[in-house]
């Protein structure tokens, strides 16, 4: 697989997760870049996308905490790179949705009343997201311990 193929695959993947395809492609490029990141003209050239499209994508990624903006001493342009804990941050933001899914299920349960056949899916949804909300913080804590262990290689 070429780097171009990977970037396109990342664009499609992150698009399915709710980002724009361009933002997903930016993620793909930055996943392959070094810690020095890239500036907007470099991203635009690498992706062959319009300046405004790249600016909007990078802005949304920065707002979501997935990308950070920085400037090298003496440089004239800002650069962008993935935040150090990009996937932990993304995972934590998704965890916040678990509560909203539980609330949605509760609203549905209030609508369907006592009919057991109509309640089953909604109860399953509520219970599954409650389970995930309880278990995922432990998984993240375990990941952090594992990542910080001397034997772990970044």
Going along the chain from its start, the domains and CATH numbers come out as 3-82 (1.10.10.10), 86-148 (1.10.287)
pLDDT, position 153:
57
* Cβ atoms 58, 80 nearer than 8 A: yes
pLDDT, position 154:
53
Using alpha carbons only, what angle is made at residue 41 by residues 38 and 42, rounded to the nearest 5 degrees? 40
Q: Residue written as tokens 């396109």? A: 8
Rounded to whole angstroms, the Cα distance separating 137 from 26 reads: 28
pLDDT in tens, the chain (154 residues): 898 999 999 999 989 988 899 999 999 999 999 878 899 999 999 999 999 999 999 999 998 888 999 988 888 889 999 988 888 777 777 788 888 999 999 999 999 989 888 899 999 999 999 999 999 888 888 888 887 877 655 5
pLDDT, position 102:
93
Q: pTM higher than 0.75 for the full model?
A: no
């Amino acid at each position: 697989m070429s780097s171009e193929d990977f970037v396109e695959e990342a664009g499609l993947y992150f698009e399915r997760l709710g980002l724009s395809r361009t933002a997903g492609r930016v993620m793909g490029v930055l996943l392959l870049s070094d810690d020095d990141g890239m500036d907007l003209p470099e991203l635009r050239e690498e992706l062959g996308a319009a300046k405004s499209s790249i600016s909007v994508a990078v802005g949304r990624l920065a707002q979501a905490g997935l990308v950070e903006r920085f400037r090298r001493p003496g440089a004239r342009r800002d650069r962008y790179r993935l935040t150090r804990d990009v996937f932990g941050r993304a995972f934590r933001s998704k965890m916040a949705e678990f509560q909203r899914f539980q609330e949605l299920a509760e609203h549905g349960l209030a609508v369907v009343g006592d009919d057991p056949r109509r309640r089953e899916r909604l109860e399953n949804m509520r219970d599954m997201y409650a389970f995930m909300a309880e278990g995922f913080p432990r998984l993240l804590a375990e990941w952090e311990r594992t990542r910080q262990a001397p034997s772990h290689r970044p």
